[in-house]
Chains A and B, each alone.
Chain A
Amino acid sequence: MSLRAPLARALNHGAAHDGTHHWMVQRVTALAIAPLAIWLLFALLSLPDSSYATAARWIQHSWNAVPLSLLVLLASWHGWLGMQMVIEDYIDTFLSKTALLLLSAFVFALLAASGVYAVLRVALRGVP
């Protein structure tokens, strides 16, 4: 006989409290990033030069600004989930583990926000 409540078993969340959510979000973000990452790789490799005008004109084009913002956002999310797993696997001390988990969460939030802000700032400035 199990001592677990029927509701707990139905939700299947156990001691981690989030069940398969972390795993699932990691896969969904991976699926979304896959085409965006390949697009970015080829887009950056085919930029004609490294001048400001070329970079700004490329970033501010709607067909680039939207996927670029999405990529920065989703890659930060996916990276955060991945780093979380790496830290949980290799850092044993409770204090250092918690500190690193919080630090990485804040760093990824900062990366996502500054990346999207930078894209918008270029995109809304107008053609150079």
Chain B
Amino acid sequence: MAERPLSPFTKMFGESGYRWAYTMTLSILHRVTGVALVFALLGLVVWLIGASFGPAGYQALLPLFIGVPAKLVISLAVIALIYHFCNGLRHLAWDMGWGFERAAARRSAVLVVFLTAIASSVCILLLFHGSAP
């Protein structure tokens, strides 16, 4: 079959596709963090179920939530939550018709990454240096 140019929707990148812009990375990260947060929700529900089993059941499930490896996973969940929150507000603003022009969307993208970095760092510091083991 002859090689014909494809629609940008059938071929995202490359010769006939879109030129990469960093706003695209933020867009796919919104989905990635959204899917990650499903697992964070699962973790929260497992913790709640553990508590509902009483002291013995809670103690049995506790190893899943304490220690350094667990804290690293929780840190990833914290980053996902803060990113999805900030970028979600950006999406809600767009839905109101605010900031959808290219220059504004790029400025808000930088702001989202900056806020996520700052807020996640603070939360992760609290997580590792807080009183909870």
A binds B: yes
Chain A: interface size category: 35 or more
- Name A's interface SS: helix
Is the Cβ of A37 less than 8 Å from the Cβ of B81?
yes
Is the Cβ of B62 less than 8 Å from the Cβ of A59?
no
Contacts of A31 in B (CB 8 A): 92
B100 in contact (CB, < 8 A): no
Is the Cβ of B132 less than 8 Å from the Cβ of A47?
yes
Is the Cβ of A52 less than 8 Å from the Cβ of B41?
no
Q: Which of B35, B51, B65, B132 contacts A56 (CB 8 A)?
A: B51
| Chain A residue at minimum C-beta to C-beta distance from B59 | A52
Docked CA distance A53–B58 (Å): 10
A6 in contact (CB, < 8 A): no
Is the Cβ of B66 less than 8 Å from the Cβ of A41?
no
| Chain A residue at minimum C-beta to C-beta distance from B55 | A52
Q: Give 6 new A-B contacts, CB below 8 A, not counting A50-B65, A72-B44, A118-B48.
A: A47-B132, A50-B132, A72-B45, A79-B37, A111-B41, A115-B44
Chain B contact residues, CB within 8 Å of chain A: 31, 34-35, 37-38, 41-42, 44-45, 47-49, 51-52, 54-55, 58-59, 62, 65-66, 78, 81-82, 85, 88-89, 91-92, 95, 123, 126-127, 130-133
Chain A contact residues, CB within 8 Å of chain B: 27, 30-31, 34, 37-38, 40-41, 45-50, 52, 55-56, 59, 68, 72, 75-76, 79, 82-83, 86, 111, 114-115, 117-119, 121-122, 125, 128
